[in-house]
Amino acid sequence: MQPTPHDPVRIGCYVCHCGTNIAGLVDVADVARFAGSLPGVVLARHYKYMCSDPGQELIVRDILEHRLNRVVVAACTPLLHEPTFRKALTRAGLNPFFLQVVNLREHDAWVHSDAAAATQKARELVHAAVLRVVHHRPLEIRQVPVHRDVLVVGGGIAGIHAALTLANGGLKVYLVEKEATLGGHMARFDKTFPTLDCAACVLTPKMAAVGAHPNITLWTWSEVVKVEGTVGNYRVTVRRKPRYVIEDRCTGCQECVDACVYREPRFPDEFNLGLGRRKPIYLPFPQAVPPVVLIDPATCIELKTGRCKKTCVEACGDRRAIDFHMQEELREITVGAIIMATGFRIFDARRTPYYGYGVFPNVYNALEVERLINAAGPTGGELILRDGRKPRSVAIVHCVGSRDEHTNPWCSRVCCLYSLKLAHLIHERTGAEVYNFYIDIRTPGKGMEEFYQRIQEEGLHLIRGKVADVYPDPNDGPNGRLIVQAEDTLMNEVVKIPVDLVVLAVGLEPHPDAENLRRLFNLSCSAEGWFLERHPKLAPVNTFTDGIFLAGCCQGPKDIPDSVAQAGAAAAEAYALISRGHIELEPNTAHIFDDCSGCKSCLPLCPYSAITYDEDRRKAVINEALCKGCGTCVAACPSGSIAQHLFEDEAIFSELEGLLSAR
């Protein structure tokens, strides 16, 4: 029952109410009546929900009963239901490309308030579609194979979980991490809420599993520098920075570290946020994965001057793992899908200057306190002041760099809970009086309110008021206490509490590299800079770029359980794509007419190298398998000899004619 070009055109036109989404503003009956009056339209209907089963059946029945050979559906965005209606056409035996969808919801009803004008706009949009659909031709959907490997960017808990899930399912995974070790922020935490289990105890087995997994290629100290291609076939270039230690040869024995000419560690240690010291050759932390040392070129004497005794090389001996001549390497890989798990950064508390971070020595941010109370941290788990004393009173300031127009307007979601956790741990370790200053205590999630209640029972001081000022107690000498000033809003009084130590519960914000990554991977960001999911409810791990998925805090602040859950979801989406084995492509490719003059101007323009030149016929030839339908050659052809399926000239001109017919 495929129509031929000579068949008389018989169009069916369907106007959807979308409940009241469209019909609440647009006079759908009027639009349907109008559509019925247009040339070639055999029947026009309006119906409450065209996407519903009865709505689709209506189209199928009409095609069969009324011998329709073109269909126009005026409903919501084609992004949502074009596939639905194409399937309806297919079920009725019609080529699915004899369909044109008009977006009456997003483009009309939702963005206007004048009913009469919106109805007029609907008539014009439907008119355009009716004139356009006449020129539609039967087309075939193309299938291209999907490359089976997956790239995971970021080796924090989200990236680790996603990589392990995929690798356990049998896929080959590349895990690229910017730092020298896996672990991300979670590796720095002491204990985790609400269960107070040790972060390292639950994280390091997963890190080790990644390091040992036969299906995972782990590249730490590496960054993605180039991404080309599309879903199913991404070509990615990764830069492997030189660590001056050959990974395959290093056993992690750290004899080189002991042997370093610097007897004592004296350079700020990144893993401990500068609170501890390391040598120029170092392992980031004891359970680092891979367990491979690296050399910091900014502090290593040999790399700076070339005049070191190189006692490290001596200590390494026959393993010969140290290579001062190591250069960065570029590795190119091809993957079918990508999972972004690039994480967040903590708010820089110097941006809220009245809390004195970076000015008063005993003001710490929460992550620093995590290191100070961690047994593997720079103080061996003792929370001490800068002068070595134990604090007797501690203030925890909530909402630093969160819920504030001047810094970040969003709630960072995890700070209330980690502040309660820190209050518990600090009290447990030091016996100090702990004062939590909060605006609201937010404890959503399983077991979280119960955790709050448990901490309350321990008797910490909860003061409802945002801290307004932190300053040295004028009655104390140098190294004296700090006054934390706030209004206790539940008591209607201003309090000035002297404490030894202030902990700033800093919020989460987008990673500083996010903007760069967004460009590299062609993603969208929310106004705040978080990677944007395709749909906040129904496609929370998908992006607007097919084949790229999101996991963890790069999409927004999350706690560990949610990061892991989302990483699992992202892995499942990637797995679904890969295991289908192919992707379907819109048949929107370009094709060349016989009147091609062979001028070759299109050849260098094609970004996908899909055009070649046939020397015998002296004409350009397009490889449809490579063409992505960008339309560059169509626009550039000086003789108008290239056309593009779905965007033929006559279809577009007719569409314009319809749009402008009432003017």
Partner 1 sequence: MVAPVTFPKTERAEICARDTTLETLLTTPEGRRILTCIQCGTCAGTCPYGEHMDYPPRRLINLLRRGRIEEAFRSDSLLRCVACYACMAKCPRGIRLSDVLLPLVKEQTLARRPEIPAELQRALQNTLRYGNPMGESSRKRANWVTSAGTPVPILAERQKPVDVLWFVECYTSYYPRGIDGSRATARLFHALGIDFAILGNEEKCAGDCGQLTWESGLFETLTDYNLEIFRKYKFNRIVTGDPHAHNAFHVRYPMYGFHYPVLHTHQLLAEHLDALKPKLVRPLRRMVTYHDSCCLGRRAGCFDEPRRLLQAIPGVKLVEMVHHRINSICCGGGGGGMWLDTWFKSKGMERLSERRVREAMATGADVLAVSCPYEIFRFEDALKTLGYDHKMVVRDVSELLAEALGD
Decide whether 409 or 607 has the Cβ nearer to partner 1. Answer: 409
Minimum Å distance from CB 466 to partner 1? Answer: 4
Cα–Cα distances in angstroms (integers) from residue 520 to residues 153, 178, 189, 551, in the given order: 12, 15, 30, 17
Structure tokens at 469: 């000022």
Q: Which of 12, 156, 378, 472 binds partner 1 (CB under 8 A)?
A: 472
Decide whether 148 or 464 has the Cβ nearer to partner 1. Answer: 464
Structure tokens at 138: 């039967």
Cα–Cα distances in angstroms (integers) from residue 452 to residues 67, 284, 417, 418, 433, in the given order: 67, 34, 8, 10, 17
Cα–Cα distances in angstroms (integers) from residue 464 to residues 399, 417, 439, 445, in the given order: 12, 15, 6, 22
Q: Are 643 and 634 in contact (CB under 8 A)?
A: yes
Return the residue matching tokens 């809390």: 355
How far apart CA 657 and CA 135 sit, in angstroms, is: 13
Q: Which positions from 422 through 451 interact with partner 1, judged by CB under 8 A?
A: 439-440
Segment near partner 1 (CB under 8 A); pick from 27-35, 193-201, 492-500, 516-524: 492-500
Minimum Å distance from CB 363 to partner 1? Answer: 13
Return the residue matching tokens 């004062």: 435
Q: Which helix (H) or strand (E) holds 15?
A: strand 11-16
Count, in order, helices (H) and strands (E) of the chain: 16, 34
Q: Which of 52, 489, 579, 612 binds partner 1 (CB under 8 A)?
A: 489
H-type alpha helices, 282-414: 301-305, 311-316, 366-372
485 contributes a contact to partner 1 by CB under 8 A: yes
Segment near partner 1 (CB under 8 A); pick from 85-93, 278-286, 287-295, 479-487: 479-487
* 547 DSSP assignment: T
H-type alpha helices, 353-406: 366-372
**Count of alpha carbons within 13 Å of 632, Cβ hemisphere only?**
15
Pairing of strands 467-472, 482-488: antiparallel
Cα–Cα distances in angstroms (integers) from residue 135 to residues 37, 656, 659, in the given order: 19, 13, 16
Q: Which of 493, 594, 595, 616 binds partner 1 (CB under 8 A)?
A: 493
Radius of gyration of the chain (CA): 32
Minimum Å distance from CB 231 to partner 1? Answer: 38
Segment near partner 1 (CB under 8 A); pick from 206-214, 292-300, 470-478, 557-565: 470-478
Exposed, middle or buried: residue 566 (CB in 10 Å: 0-12, 13-18, 19+)?
buried
Minimum Å distance from CB 356 to partner 1? Answer: 9
Decide whether 266 or 496 has the Cβ nearer to partner 1. Answer: 496
Minimum Å distance from CB 504 to partner 1? Answer: 14
Q: Which of 296, 487, 562, 586 binds partner 1 (CB under 8 A)?
A: 487
Residues 387-426, mask of contacts with partner 1 (x by CB under 8 A): ------------x---xxxx--------------------
Q: Which of 94, 109, 260, 486 binds partner 1 (CB under 8 A)?
A: 486
**Dihedral sign computed on CA atoms, order 232, 237, 241, 246:** positive
Segment near partner 1 (CB under 8 A); pick from 115-123, 196-204, 349-357, 424-432: 349-357
Minimum Å distance from CB 298 to partner 1? Answer: 17
528 contributes a contact to partner 1 by CB under 8 A: no
Structure tokens at 41: 């339209």
Cα–Cα distances in angstroms (integers) from residue 385 to residues 205, 363, 382, 467, 479, in the given order: 33, 9, 10, 21, 10
Q: Are 9 and 72 in contact (CB under 8 A)?
A: no
Structure tokens at 380: 């061996």
Decide whether 359 or 605 has the Cβ nearer to partner 1. Answer: 359
Segment near partner 1 (CB under 8 A); pick from 31-39, 272-280, 467-475, 517-525: 467-475
Minimum Å distance from CB 485 to partner 1? Answer: 6
Decide whether 354 or 647 has the Cβ nearer to partner 1. Answer: 354
Decide whether 239 or 466 has the Cβ nearer to partner 1. Answer: 466
Q: Which of 87, 172, 390, 464 binds partner 1 (CB under 8 A)?
A: 464
Segment near partner 1 (CB under 8 A); pick from 65-73, 97-105, 347-355, 615-623: 347-355
626 contributes a contact to partner 1 by CB under 8 A: no
Q: Which of 48, 172, 249, 351 binds partner 1 (CB under 8 A)?
A: 351
595 contributes a contact to partner 1 by CB under 8 A: no
Decide whether 327 or 475 has the Cβ nearer to partner 1. Answer: 475
461 contributes a contact to partner 1 by CB under 8 A: no
Minimum Å distance from CB 512 to partner 1? Answer: 12
466 contributes a contact to partner 1 by CB under 8 A: yes
Minimum Å distance from CB 371 to partner 1? Answer: 21
How far apart CA 630 and CA 552 sit, in angstroms, is: 32
617: three-class secondary structure by DSSP: coil
Minimum Å distance from CB 395 to partner 1? Answer: 13
Q: Which of 336, 391, 465, 547 binds partner 1 (CB under 8 A)?
A: 465
How far apart CA 296 and CA 229 sit, in angstroms, is: 35
How far apart CA 429 and CA 427 sit, in angstroms, is: 6
Minimum Å distance from CB 494 to partner 1? Answer: 4
Minimum Å distance from CB 456 to partner 1? Answer: 20
* 592 DSSP assignment: E
Segment near partner 1 (CB under 8 A); pick from 18-26, 388-396, 488-496, 630-638: 488-496
Of 497, 216, 513, give the one whose Cα is nearest residue 341.
Answer: 513
Contacts of 248 (CB under 8 A, 6+ apart): none
Minimum Å distance from CB 343 to partner 1? Answer: 20
Decide whether 201 or 468 has the Cβ nearer to partner 1. Answer: 468
Q: Are 606 and 632 in contact (CB under 8 A)?
A: yes
Minimum Å distance from CB 495 to partner 1? Answer: 8
Q: Are 566 and 555 in contact (CB under 8 A)?
A: yes
591 contributes a contact to partner 1 by CB under 8 A: no
Q: Are 227 and 236 in contact (CB under 8 A)?
A: yes
Q: Which residues contact partner 1 (rule: CB under 8 A)?
A: 348, 350-354, 399, 403-406, 439-440, 464-469, 471-472, 474, 485-489, 492-494
